[in-house]
Amino acid sequence: MSGNNTAAAKKLKIRWVKSAAGYNVKQKRTIKAMGFTKLGQVVEHVDTPQIRGMIYAVTHLVEVTEQVS
């Protein structure tokens, strides 16, 4: 493996701001897969391409802030 950059990895704070009601099942599953259980909840994830893809899929339902750890 080339370099362990988990110590300097960026974290993302993601807040669920809009209900997924009325949107398709795939988007509801993405919200759940990100760890959300309640509207208004904030979760933290390491900035990875997989998480960025999830955010892109539900960008209209969440708010994202970056923080460098």
What are the tokens at 10?
């960026």
CATH class of the region 10-68: alpha beta
CB 64 within 8 A of CB 44: no
Query: Per-residue pLDDT tens for 37-59?
Result: 999 999 999 999 999 999 999 99
Please give the pLDDT value at position 7.
56
What is the mean predicted confidence (pLDDT) over 21-36?
97
Exposure of 43 in the CB half-sphere (CA atoms within 13 A)? 17
The domain spans of the chain are: 10-68
What is the C-alpha separation between 13 and 46, in angstroms, rounded?
Answer: 9
